[in-house]
Amino acid sequence: MSVELLRLDRKNDRAWALLPQLSARILDFGVRTGQGDIELLVKKVEAAFVVPMDTVAAWVAVDGDRVVGHLLALEDDWTGQKVGFVLQAEMDGGHLPVAIHREAKHELEAWARGRGYRMLLMLTSRAPGAWARRFGWHRVRSLMGKELGDE
């Protein structure tokens, strides 16, 4: 497997061909993990690709012409400050090669710094210890939820 990282950018002809695969992955990930109005999110990502918006950033891990992983980050407002929020990060079959991990980390941080963000945030229910050890993430707060059923 020869994997490369590619930021989806409308100026890159190859990215146009990969956009449908990214959209399908975002939809699938969102449905599996219960992420709100996932179809609206897909539309937002696609719109940001057509009309450039630096508030949305997406990268794909590509093996040939097949997307085997993706990273999606958006601008968000957290306690009164703009932050980069990693909404989705997933790799087929588990792990990316270390060099691709490093490149993705560098690209994500460069995007965030370029937007003037002082922090990146991410929600994860899987392997928070691995994110801390490998990428320097740390717990900022604990997110708790309570389902509000019908009255």
d(CA 142, CA 123): 10
d(CA 5, CA 18): 12
pLDDT of the residue at 16 = 87
d(CA 41, CA 21): 15
Whether pLDDT at 137 is above 70: no
**Which pLDDT band, with edges at 50, 70 and 90, does 113 fall under?**
very high
Task: Read off the pLDDT of residues 18-31 as tens digits, 9 standing for 90 and up.
Answer: 999 999 999 999 99
Element containing residue 149 per DSSP (H, E) = none
Give the pLDDT mean for 126-136. Answer: 64
